[in-house]
Structure 1
Amino acid sequence: MEILQATMDELEDLAKLFDEYRQFYGIESDISSAKAFLQLRLALKESVIFIALMDDKIIGFTQLYPTFSSIALQRAYILNDIYVTEDARGLGVGKALMEKVFHYCEQQYARYVTLQTAADNVNARKLYEKLQMKQDEYCNYVKYFM
């Protein structure tokens, strides 16, 4: 397995996997919109995407969005998306992607990386805790506009 930072060269295959990820969360398939979304993020350097490759096939990805910590006066990252194909689960792909994210954030002198997951996503929570991530003490509030 190899973990690489995605470029426009991987856009076609990445868009298919991104669409599969969105379907996992109950969103109707729309590969063209998924591709356009990723293309814009990459072109504008608005996100950092890492892909896991096995036998030249993308089997997982993670997407980071940069933000800042005003208190610490440092860059920070939101790990917004992580997905591993069903047939690659249990092979350590998620762990490898997370470790790549941590390494990248450290190289960028980030204060922290944060993520959210569903309370019932037991396997993901076990992985995050195994990687020494901690639940913070903040209450998150959301206001949806669409």
Structure 2
Amino acid sequence: MSPQLSVLKNGFVVSAAIGMLANIATAIPVSGLEKRDVYTPPVTYPHAGTVWYKGQRHNVTWDTANHPVNITNKLGRIWLRKGDITTPVILGENFDILLGRIEVTVPWVIPDTDYSLVLFGDSGNFSPQFSIQE
């Protein structure tokens, strides 16, 4: 058997073994674990009509009043969204989603009126569209 064929065969065997282990792990019952909830707190600031200027600092806020007891992911992240596209610009991350606010610095982006924020914890939650200017 050629060395290339041997490597290919061994790679296939390893991949198959990993797949089998993954299937076994998902079949194991998870009794005794707490039920977790997806939490999507509404963003309260910025709101429609808000104008931010590049380099300023602002508190992004969201309503935590009705949060469930067991949240699947308590670590938050805030991304900038332009129109219908979530950009790779992260304004804040690894904060407790129950804080209800996090201070961010307005990034240097093309001035426009169709920006929004995406608040991630368990799920993405969009702010209303607002403006970033120079």
TM over 0.5: no
The TM-score, its normalising length taken from structure 1, stands at 0.22
Structure index of larger Rg: 2
**Between structures 1 and 2, the one with greater helix share:** 1
Higher relative contact order (CA 8 A, sep 6+): 2
